[in-house]
Structure 1
Amino acid sequence: MTTSASGLVPAPPLDPEVAAALAVQLETPSPITEADVPLKRAEDDAAAVSAQQRVAELGLVRRDLAATGHDGASVPLTLVHRPDRTATSPLVYFVHGGGMMLGTRWSGAEVFLDWVERYNAVIATVEYRRAPEHQYPVPQEDVYAGLQHLAEHAEALGVNPAAGVVAGISAGAGLAASVALMARDRGGAQVAGQLLLAPMLDDRGTTCSTRQYPTGMWNAVENELAWRSLLGERYGSGEVPAYAAPARADDLSGLPPAFLEVGSAEVFRDEAVDYASRIWAQGGQAELHVWAGGFHGFGTFEHTVLAQGASASARNWLDRVLGVSGRP
């Protein structure tokens, strides 16, 4: 058993292989501060250029669209798919991570490009407006508007949201969960499943896992900054709506089947476990994987046994929900 940096709360140890990989990449992870946001966004923009070049090199089709946000603003969407896509190619509506403050619709391309290859999927990736410039409800409403646009133009775009999934990573997974709640309550576009990878669900910061990881990869300090950036004056109050922080939802019934993945050694562990448990308690379908020794983002170390196991489990769920089997 290890102890958190505060010395107060025992914390599960990291998986040795992913810990070694992390040490090579980043010797001393330091919290992202508000002052770091411009530099981090510049890095995201550079990565977006590389991702778009990769799409072109693979010979994939790219189609840029725009939804209309709740306030009339334009919300960019991009479809990515193979030239040989068919009318039955599954749709994956992808929501990028970045703590609500960072990332672009090309962040996470290494994940969704695998789905393009494996399932001949059509990926729709959304450029929601980010905090702190755009606080709740703007990011949530932007993602909801993107899903509605796909449903309203399904025939012209050759997609079927009702047979597809909404997928997200970290903050993107939290937004995906929010949109599932919004669609249920508003009678909006329905999907067949929600793929929530290391989801950011709870603004309150009161879980044991939050206290266990005050430092490290996406720690409690960064998590508080992200929620403060999103919520503004609402942060720390009882006035935070469930659409902002899905863990606050009392009613988790009637939602699409959910897949939740989290590491045992990360801030989001307990909120993901609680969310899945409450879906089950209200008669819903959820699949939960807690990977022993996984820190936030361990899946990016694709050469590790832990990351390979996590990827295989997510693919297995997608095989079942999409009703198709990807390549072995």
Structure 2
Amino acid sequence: MTYAIDPELAPWLDMLPEVPLTDHESLLTARASMAQLGEVLPGYEPVNPVDVRDTAVPGPSDAPDVPVRVYSPGNRTGAVPGLLYIHGGGFVMGDLDMFNAQLLRLVDELGIVIVSVDYRLAPEHPFPAPVEDCYAALAWVEAKAAELGIDPARIGVAGESAGGGLSAAVALLARDRGGPALRFQYLGIPELDDRLDTPSMEAYTDTPIWNRPNAVFSWTSYLGAEPGGADVSPYAAPARATDLAGLPPAFVTTCQFDPLRDEGIQYAQRLAHAGVQAEFRHYPGTFHGSGMVETAQISRRMFADVVDALRRGLGVTTG
């Protein structure tokens, strides 16, 4: 198919990595390609001092500690909002370096503390390992809020792609387990539904970066079984949740030529119907991951919208 890609994005299509996921060998190749891409993407030099340190937090029961990276504004005075950030990568790729530049910029502009979590990846570690790692990191953020300089009343969770899906799942877990209390959730182009039956998922078999075949591999790897089964947990696929009431306010984004588009739209609608304060943004002419082309006007607008949503959602009063 041909797609009406935004004119500023279209010239980059041939330079973006193709990530066909079909088997374990292709996954290893894709992981290497994504790591190489991370090395060539532009970095970010903060205007304000940002302290960055890597550490590990207690993992789920009978599981290893979870690596995290803590970004703290060096010039803060008093407690500031905190954000647990969960990287994307289809549940099977990604690490702490993947969104390093973006997180430095968010801390620089918002003056918040961000804790980025390096959860275990599928298929080596299928559900529930990744989401339990993320929940364990959230519990640590709450427990160490005073030490981290975080206001415990202003903690949020955020992620993009699979990270958006995991963020939605962490919000469900936090509600159902009685905490930690979340102020806000940012679900960027989220991967939410293993049933793979939306119009965009059925139509977009050859879209850039992410497409239906990759989604099938992603969910099969994450679930350890064929997707679309009758007994899939809503903590694996949040679109399966029958009750969305009582969740924190949400900011949900989607891209036009993305197989994940319609599940994001539907989840935002269902949040609103459940009485959750849900804000939604859809970006025409974009595709999954197109925001990495930072110079495009649409990409700049997408990032500015996220900054604004986090500012409002976390109650940021400075910056």
The one of 281, 284, 290 aligned to 1:292 = 284
Structure 1: distance between partners of 2:278 and 2:46: 36
Structure 1 unmatched ranges of 5 or more: 6-11
Instruction: Tell me, yes or no, if structure 1 residue 307 matches structure 2 residue 296.
Output: no
Residue equivalent to 2:20: 31
Structure 2: distance between partners of 1:30 and 1:44: 8
Instruction: Tell me, yes or no, if structure 1 residue 266 matches structure 2 residue 258.
Output: yes
Structure 1: distance between partners of 2:48 and 2:20: 36
Structure 2: distance between partners of 1:157 and 1:130: 26
Q: 1:173 to 1:161 in 2, by over 3 A?
A: farther
Name whichever of 267-276 and 37-46 sits farther off.
Answer: 37-46
Residue equivalent to 2:114: 123
Residue equivalent to 2:129: 138
The answer to whether the 8 A contact 1:118-1:326 is kept is: no
Q: 1:124 to 1:307 in 2, by over 3 A?
A: same
Instruction: Tell me, yes or no, if structure 1 residue 69 matches structure 2 residue 59.
Output: yes
Structure 2: distance between partners of 1:297 and 1:125: 19
Q: After superposition, where does 1:152-301 map in structure 2 within 5 Å?
A: 152-217=143-208, 218-233=210-225, 235-301=227-293
Q: Which amino acid is 2:83 matched to?
A: V
Structure 1: distance between partners of 2:131 and 2:178: 16
Q: CA deviation at 1:199?
A: 0.4
Per-residue deviation, residues 156-198 of structure 1 (Å, max 9, x unmatched): 2222343032110100110000000000000021121111111
Q: CA deviation at 1:15?
A: 2.1
Q: What SS class does the counterpart of residue 194 from structure 1 fall into?
A: strand
Q: CA deviation at 1:48?
A: 7.0
Structure 2: distance between partners of 1:119 and 1:30: 33
User: TM-score with structure 2 length normalisation?
Assistant: 0.91
Name whichever of 112-121 and 311-320 sits farther off.
Answer: 311-320
Structure 1: distance between partners of 2:240 and 2:271: 13
Name whichever of 36-45 and 94-103 sits farther off.
Answer: 36-45
Structure 2: distance between partners of 1:86 and 1:166: 23
Q: 1:48 to 1:291 in 2, by over 3 A?
A: closer
Q: CA deviation at 1:283?
A: 0.9
Per-residue deviation, residues 36-72 of structure 1 (Å, max 9, x unmatched): 2223334555677899x97899863223332222233
Q: 1:128 to 1:277 in 2, by over 3 A?
A: same
Q: 1:56 to 1:313 in 2, by over 3 A?
A: closer
Name whichever of 175-184 and 284-293 sits farther off.
Answer: 284-293
Q: CA deviation at 1:309?
A: 1.7
Q: Which amino acid is 1:301 matched to?
A: V
Q: What SS class does the counterpart of residue 280 from structure 1 fall into?
A: helix
Q: What SS class does the counterpart of residue 287 from structure 1 fall into?
A: strand
Structure 1: distance between partners of 2:55 and 2:307: 28
Q: What SS class does the counterpart of residue 16 from structure 1 fall into?
A: coil
Equivalences, count: 315
Q: After superposition, where does 1:14-25 map in structure 2 within 5 Å?
A: 14-23=5-14, 25=15
The one of 131, 138, 152 aligned to 1:147 = 138
Identity between Structure 1 and Structure 2 (%) = 38
Q: Which amino acid is 1:146 matched to?
A: A
The one of 7, 22, 40 aligned to 2:30 = 40
Root-mean-square deviation (CA, aligned residues, Å) is 2.4
Q: Which amino acid is 1:224 matched to?
A: V
The answer to whether the 8 A contact 1:262-1:291 is kept is: yes
Structure 1: distance between partners of 2:88 and 2:48: 24
Structure 2: distance between partners of 1:200 and 1:20: 26
